[in-house]
Amino acid sequence: MDALYVKTADGLQKLELASGGSSSSVSITRQTTTLESALPAGTEFAVPVHETGAGKLRLYLWGILLGSDAYTETTVSTVTFTQELPAGTEVTAEALVVAGESDDLSVLTAAINGKLDTAVYESEKEEAAA
């Protein structure tokens, strides 16, 4: 079975890739909104439907990725921000949606986020063989 290796904070993670009749499909739903008026802290803001608390939502202000401490996922389709956002703020929300089977969605999310590091994998593979 084929596999994808991804470097994460916990080390190298292996993601088994399905072959044959079983497969997964991954899509990212993106929504960009420019606020017409200020959004007070704690006010619900609509985002694409996603699984809460699973690391499948990314939020950006003016294209800058927010840390998870900047907002709270309140429902599968809303968040609240910890600080007021001024009128004119561009907010982009991306939700990872997976259909089918997957062994480790957090690893798949890391791969989609561009954290795949084959050089590290090859280096650690050689060290393990020695």
Q: What pLDDT score does 116 carry? A: 47
What whole-number distance in Å separates Cα of residue 116 and Cα of residue 125?
A: 15
| 3-class secondary structure, 124 | helix
Strands in 90-100's sheet, in edge-to-edge order, are 24-34, 90-100, 57-61, 64-65
Whether 33 has a pLDDT exceeding 80, the answer reads: yes
Q: Please give the residue that has the higher pLDDT: either 51 or 26.
A: 51
Mean pLDDT of 11-37: 72
The backbone region for 88, taken as left when phi is positive above 0, alpha when psi lies in -120 to 50, beta otherwise, is left
Q: What is the pLDDT of residues 62-120, one digit of tens each?
A: 999 999 899 999 998 999 999 999 999 999 999 887 765 444 455 455 555 544 445 55
Average pLDDT, the chain: 76
Q: What is the pLDDT of residue 89?
A: 97
Residues in Cβ contact with 104 at an 8 Å cutoff, skipping those fewer than 6 apart: 13, 15
For residue 111 the two structure tokens come to: 């791969």
- Domain ranges for the chain, please list them: 1-23+101-130, 28-97
pTM of the model: 0.59
